[in-house]
C-alpha cells in the first residue's frame, strides 16, 4: 500500500478535524481514500491511500500468454479499454519486432480515438456530477454525456461484440475488421457527438457558477507538473506541449493532421478546455482514418490456433501510447517464451493522482471533489 | 361552531393537504427533471406515468429499519426530525388559499412566516450535531452559516410588497394587487422578485446553494445517519418548506388567488402560480453546479444584502412620495 507524503500548511491555531473521504464515497471515482485534515472548511493536509483495487495485474501478465493477456490488459483502465490493450500489444510488438499491416494500424488509431471520445464523455459527466451532485445540476450533464458515450459503445459493440472490455487488439494487428455499414454509422455518430459538444460548451462556459467553481481552482504550475510527472490533459493544461502521439508517433499517427491543445493556466478550467478541444481533434482524426483507410490484411498473424502460438524473441522494451488520461505503457521483458518474463504497467492515472497532495491543501472541501474530478483517475489503472 | 374547533379543523385539513401536496410535488419534480435530462422518470408504479410512486416511496420509508448510531446523542438525534418538521409545516398556518380560506389570517402573517421558517435551522443543527458524524457536523455548520446569511435578504425582499401594501396581513397584500401584481410593478417588483427567488433557493438549501446536502462531498450532509421514517420526516420538512416558500412567492408577488374566472377558481390559480414558482426553483436546481461555501457567503453579504437594503429604501421612498399603499 503506497502511502503518499503528507503536505501540510502551517498551523493556524484553529481546532482541526480529521475526516475520511473514502474508500467508499459518492464522489470517489473508484475506491480511493483521502484522509483530510480540516480547519473549518479548509483543507490543511491530505493523506492519499490507494491500493484497494489491486488485482496483481503485473503478476497476472507473467502467467498469461501473449495471446491471452490483451483482453485482460483492457481491465487495467476499464474506461479506456481500447488504449490499454493497445499499450500491451505495442510493447509485445516492439520487443518481438512484429510488423503491423497498415490497415491494422489505421484501425487501431480509429478505435483509440473513438475510445478517447467515450472516455472524455465519462469524465465530463462525472466531473460535473462531482460539482453539482447526483441530485444536482451535474446529473443533467452526466446523463447527456452518457447518451453520447452509449452511441460510441454501440459502435464498439458492432465492431467487437463487447461494450466495455473489447479484446480488439492482438499481437500483429487487430482481431476484427469493420463490418458492413459501420463506416457510415460511425460518421453519423461523430457528427452527432460534435454537435453535442458545442451544446455542452454553451451550457457550461456560459454558466457563471461553473466558471467560479473551476477557474483558479486546483492550479498546477508548469514546474510542479513536470516535477511530479503528470501526463495527458493535466500536463497540457499546465502549459507543457507533450503528447506521445506527437512526440513519438506510433501506429501511423504521423499520417494524420491534428492539433495538440495546450492551456497555460493550469487550473481545473484549463484541463476542461484541453479535454473539450481533444474531443474535436479526436473527431477530426476519426474522419481522416475513415477517409484514408487502406485495403489489406488486418493482422500479420491471422488466426489463433493455440494460446501459446505467439512467441517473442529475448529482449525488453517499452512502448508508450497516449491514452485518454495520458501516457500509458508497458515495460516488457521477454525470455523467448510464450509469456512475458516480467511486465510493468505505467498507468497515467497513477502519476496524475499523485499530484493531489500537492495541490489540495489550501482549498475548501468542495474543491477537493472538483479537483479530483478534473484529474480524472480510473482506479483500475491506479492500483492495477 | 366555536372558533377553536373551526381553527382546529382547518389546521387538520391544511396539514393533511400539505402532506399530500408535498408527496406529489416530489413526483412533479421528478417528472419535470426527467424531461430535462431526456429521461422518463417514475413510470411503472401506478398507471399512467407512475402516479403511485410517491405513495410507494412513503410506504418503503415507513417499513425501513430505524437505525440510531451507537455513539449518537440519542435525545438530540431523535428529536431533530420533529424539530425540523414542525416549523416547516407551521408556515402554512398563515397562508390563505382564498379569501377566508386558511387556518389563521394573522395581521402579522408575513412576519410569522419569516420568523417560523427561520426556526428550521434549530432542528437542522440538532440533526447534524446529534448524529455524531463528521460529515453531518460539517454540513450543520454550513447550514447555520448559510441560513443566517440568507434570511436577511429573504426578509428584506419579502418586505418590499409589505411596504407597497402597508400591511403584513397576507389577504390585504393580495387585495392590494387587484390592479397590478407586484411582480409587474416597474423595476422594484422585478428586482424584489428576483432577490426573493435567489434568497429562497438559499434558504431552502437548493442547488446552487445546497452545500449542506452536498452529496458529492458530504455524502448527504446533516441527514447522513438518518434512515426510515426519520429520514422521511426530514424530506417532508424540506419539501414542505419549499412549497411554503413557493406559496409565499405567489402571494407576495404573483397576486395570490387573483385571476380570471369565477371566485371559486381562486385556490386553483393560487396553486398554479405556486407550482410555477416551484418549477422555476426546480429548473435552476437541475441546470447549475453547486457553489462553494465561501462563494455563497460572499454572494449574500457583498451583493444580495446591500442590494435588498437599497431596494427596500427605494421602495420606502416611492411609497412616501405617493406610490400605492402606504399606511
CB contact under 8 A, A131 and B290: yes
> Which pLDDT value is given to residue A274?
92
Give the three cell numbers for residue A90: 505495442
> Which pLDDT value is given to residue B324?
55
CB contact under 8 A, A209 and B288: yes
> Which pLDDT value is given to residue B180?
76
pLDDT tier for residue A14 given thresholds of 50, 70 and 90: low
Residue of B nearest to A136 (CA): B286
CB-CB neighbors (< 8 A) of A25 in chain B: 219
Task: Kindly tell me if the per-residue pLDDT of A360 is higher than 80.
Answer: yes
Identify the residue with better confidence: B284 or B194. Answer: B194
Q: Which of residues 320-359 of A touch B (CB under 8 A)?
A: none
CB-CB neighbors (< 8 A) of B287 in chain A: 137, 140, 203, 207
| Best CA proximity match to B131, nearest among B75, B169, B54 | B75
> Which pLDDT value is given to residue A286?
92
CB contact under 8 A, B290 and A367: no
CB-CB neighbors (< 8 A) of A144 in chain B: 37-38
Task: Kindly tell me if the per-residue pLDDT of B274 is higher than 80.
Answer: yes
How many Å apart are CA B131 and CA B194, to the nearest integer? 36
Judge if the upstream peptide bond of residue B41 is cis by omega within 30 degrees of 0: no
Mutate to test the interface with B, among A204, A206, A365 (most CBs of B within 10 A): A365
Task: Kindly tell me if the per-residue pLDDT of B8 is higher than 70.
Answer: yes
Tell me what the pLDDT averaged over chain A comes to.
84
For B75-81, what is the mean pLDDT?
89
Task: Kindly tell me if the per-residue pLDDT of A7 is higher than 60.
Answer: no
CA angle A264, A265, A266 (to 5 degrees): 95
How many Å apart are CA A216 and CA A230, to the nearest integer? 19
pLDDT tier for residue B208 given thresholds of 50, 70 and 90: low
Give the three cell numbers for residue A44: 490543511
For B285-297, what is the mean pLDDT?
76
> Which pLDDT value is given to residue A285?
92
Residue of A nearest to B139 (CA): A41
- DSSP secondary structure letters along B186-206: TTHHHHHHHHHHHHHHHHTT-
A43: contact with B, CB 8 A cutoff: no
Structural domains present in chain A? 57-383 (1.10.645.10)
Amino acid at each position: 500500500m503506497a502511502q503518499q507524503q503528507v503536505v501540510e500548511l502551517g498551523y493556524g491555531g484553529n481546532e482541526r478535524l480529521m475526516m475520511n473521504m473514502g474508500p467508499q464515497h459518492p464522489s470517489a471515482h473508484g475506491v480511493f481514500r483521502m484522509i483530510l485534515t480540516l480547519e473549518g472548511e479548509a483543507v490543511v493536509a491530505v493523506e492519499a491511500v490507494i491500493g484497494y483495487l489491486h488485482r496483481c495485474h503485473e503478476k497476472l501478465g507473467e502467467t498469461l500468454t501473449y495471446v491471452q493477456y490483451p483482453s485482460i490488459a483492457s481491465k487495467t483502465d476499464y474506461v479506456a479499454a481500447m488504449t490499454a490493450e493497445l499499450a500491451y500489444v505495442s510493447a509485445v510488438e516492439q520487443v518481438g519486432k512484429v510488423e503491423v499491416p497498415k490497415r491494422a494500424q489505421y484501425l487501431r488509431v480509429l478505435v483509440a480515438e473513438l475510445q478517447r471520445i467515450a472516455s472524455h464523455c465519462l469524465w465530463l459527466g462525472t466531473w460535473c456530477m462531482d460539482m453539482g451532485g447526483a441530485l444536482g445540476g451535474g446529473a443533467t450533464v452526466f446523463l447527456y454525456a452518457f447518451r453520447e458515450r452509449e452511441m460510441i459503445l454501440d459502435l464498439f459493440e458492432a465492431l467487437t461484440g463487447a461494450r466495455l472490455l473489447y479484446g480488439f487488439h492482438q499481437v500483429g494487428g487487430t482481431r476484427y475488421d469493420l463490418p458492413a455499414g459501420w463506416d457510415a454509422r460511425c460518421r453519423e455518430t461523430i457528427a452527432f457527438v460534435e454537435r453535442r459538444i458545442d451544446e455542452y460548451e454553451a451550457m457550461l462556459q456560459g454558466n457563471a457558477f461553473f466558471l467560479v467553481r473551476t477557474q483558479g481552482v486546483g492550479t498546477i504550475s508548469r514546474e510542479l507538473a513536470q516535477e511530479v510527472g503528470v501526463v495527458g490533459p493535466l500536463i497540457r493544461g499546465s502549459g507543457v506541449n507533450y503528447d506521445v502521439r506527437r512526440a513519438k508517433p506510433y501506429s501511423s499517427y504521423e499520417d494524420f493532421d491534428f492539433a495538440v491543445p495546450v492551456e497555460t493556466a493550469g487550473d481545473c478550467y484549463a484541463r476542461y478546455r484541453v479535454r473539450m478541444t481533444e474531443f474535436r481533434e479526436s473527431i477530426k482524426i476519426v474522419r481522416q482514418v475513415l477517409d484514408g483507410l487502406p485495403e489489406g490484411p488486418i493482422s500479420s498473424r491471422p488466426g489463433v490456433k493455440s494460446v501459446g502460438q505467439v512467441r517473442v524473441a529475448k529482449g525488453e522494451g517499452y512502448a508508450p501510447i497516449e491514452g485518454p488520461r495520458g501516457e500509458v505503457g508497458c515495460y516488457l521483458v521477454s525470455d523467448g517464451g510464450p509469456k512475458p518474463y516480467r511486465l510493468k504497467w505505467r498507468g497515467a492515472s497513477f502519476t496524475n493522482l499523485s499530484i493531489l497532495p500537492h495541490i489540495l491543501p489550501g482549498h475548501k472541501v468542495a474543491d477537493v471533489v472538483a479537483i479530483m474530478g478534473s484529474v480524472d483517475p480510473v482506479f483500475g489503472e491506479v492500483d492495477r | 361552531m366555536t372558533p377553536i374547533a373551526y381553527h382546529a379543523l382547518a389546521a387538520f385539513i391544511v396539514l393533511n393537504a400539505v402532506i399530500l401536496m408535498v408527496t406529489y410535488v416530489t413526483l412533479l419534480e421528478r417528472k419535470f427533471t426527467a424531461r430535462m435530462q431526456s429521461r422518463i422518470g417514475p413510470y411503472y408504479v401506478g398507471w399512467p406515468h407512475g402516479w403511485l410512486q410517491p405513495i410507494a416511496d412513503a410506504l418503503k420509508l415507513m417499513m425501513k429499519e430505524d437505525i440510531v448510531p451507537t455513539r449518537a446523542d440519542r435525545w438530540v438525534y431523535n428529536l431533530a426530525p420533529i424539530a425540523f418538521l414542525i416549523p416547516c409545516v407551521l408556515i402554512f398556518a398563515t397562508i390563505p388559499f382564498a379569501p377566508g380560506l386558511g387556518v389563521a389570517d394573522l395581521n402579522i402573517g408575513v412576519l410569522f412566516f419569516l420568523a417560523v421558517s427561520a426556526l428550521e435551522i434549530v432542528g437542522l443543527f440538532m440533526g447534524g450535531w446529534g448524529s455524531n458524524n463528521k460529515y453531518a457536523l460539517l454540513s450543520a455548520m454550513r447550514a447555520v452559516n448559510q441560513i443566517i446569511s440568507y434570511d436577511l435578504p429573504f426578509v428584506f425582499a419579502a418586505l418590499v410588497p409589505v411596504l407597497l401594501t402597508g400591511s403584513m396581513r397576507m389577504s390585504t397584500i393580495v387585495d392590494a394587487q387587484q390592479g397590478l401584481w407586484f411582480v409587474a410593478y416597474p423595476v422594484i417588483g422585478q428586482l424584489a422578485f428576483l432577490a426573493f427567488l435567489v434568497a429562497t433557493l438559499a434558504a431552502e438549501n437548493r442547488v446552487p446553494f445546497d452545500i449542506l446536502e452536498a452529496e458529492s462531498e458530504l455524502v448527504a450532509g446533516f441527514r447522513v445517519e438518518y434512515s426510515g421514517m426519520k429520514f422521511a420526516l426530514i424530506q417532508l420538512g424540506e419539501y414542505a418548506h419549499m412549497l411554503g416558500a413557493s406559496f409565499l412567492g405567489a402571494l407576495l408577488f404573483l397576486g395570490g388567488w387573483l385571476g380570471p374566472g369565477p371566485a371559486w377558481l381562486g385556490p386553483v390559480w393560487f396553486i398554479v402560480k405556486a407550482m410555477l414558482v416551484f418549477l422555476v426553483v426546480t429548473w435552476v436546481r437541475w441546470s447549475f453546479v453547486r457553489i462553494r461555501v465561501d462563494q455563497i457567503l460572499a454572494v449574500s453579504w457583498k451583493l444580495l444584502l446591500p442590494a435588498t437594503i437599497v431596494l427596500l429604501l427605494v421602495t420606502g421612498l416611492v411609497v412616501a412620495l405617493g406610490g400605492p399603499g402606504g399606511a
